[in-house]
Chain A
């Protein structure tokens, strides 16, 4: 399958600081990237959808000023959790979809586990 990477794979930060997570599509151009959050034993929750070169579309209840998404190129999207708090601790997963790897499938990155202390 397609390769999508995420960095870092895990991060611990102090409350009030910001954390940036990178998502890269390694072998195809990702016209659309998705950001999900998953709490233990719960379902995936879509946070936002981003198209290359345009503003992200956030799901209802997701604060766009807190979760900053940038999709500046066809291979890179970033999620910045600003002023993180312990309740933001979760498993953040990106997925990518686009040209060259089947227009319809989403391929997931390995995820980033965020712990806010």
Chain B
């Protein structure tokens, strides 16, 4: 079992819809969780971090964490074509940054 798993996609949603991206992780001691966005040919950009169970909202983005089920998700409301990118889930298994693990990424395509 891979440490961090994501559906590779592509996930296609129409403009204005809600895009739902999911991520599962295997290590129960994981402490913190992140979502990065990577446009083609560019480096990843941090868009959300979440540390405790529940929802965290930032603009059109909502991160959801459920440690008991070992999953973290990212919802993008009112999806725009500019949201089309690969979304990487990352899990930090330690207190600090020494145990960062990235998922393979989900490619999102928002259709105008």
Which residues of A does B touch, CB under 8 Å? 1, 32, 34, 43-44, 46, 49, 91, 93, 95, 97, 102-111
- Please determine whether A1 and B104 come into contact, CB atoms closer than 8 angstroms: no
B90 to chain A: closest residue by CB: A106
- Please determine whether B97 and A103 come into contact, CB atoms closer than 8 angstroms: yes
- Please determine whether A105 and B98 come into contact, CB atoms closer than 8 angstroms: no
Number of interface residues of B (CB under 8 A): 22
Which residues of B does A touch, CB under 8 Å? 31-32, 34, 36, 41-46, 49, 51, 88, 90, 92, 96-98, 100, 102, 104-105
Name the residue in A34, A49, A103, A105 with the highest tally of chain B Cβ atoms < 10 Å from its Cβ.
A105
- Please determine whether B97 and A104 come into contact, CB atoms closer than 8 angstroms: yes
Minimum C-beta distance from B104 to chain A (A): 5
List A contacts of B105 (CB < 8 A): 43
Once bound together, how far apart are the Cα atoms of A46 and B88, in whole Å? Answer: 14
Minimum C-beta distance from B1 to chain A (A): 17
Q: Known interface pairs A43-B104, A44-B102. Does A105 touch B46 (Cβ–Cβ under 8 Å)?
A: yes
Q: Known interface pairs A105-B46, A109-B43. Does A43 touch B102 (Cβ–Cβ under 8 Å)?
A: yes
Minimum C-beta distance from B9 to chain A (A): 12
Q: Which of B32, B41, B43, B49 contacts A108 (CB 8 A)?
A: B43
List B contacts of A95 (CB < 8 A): 44
A57 to chain B: closest residue by CB: B98
Residue pairs across A and B with Cβ atoms less than 8 A apart, 11 shown, are A1-B46, A32-B98, A43-B104, A44-B88, A44-B102, A46-B102, A104-B32, A105-B46, A106-B46, A110-B43, A111-B43
- Please determine whether B97 and A93 come into contact, CB atoms closer than 8 angstroms: no
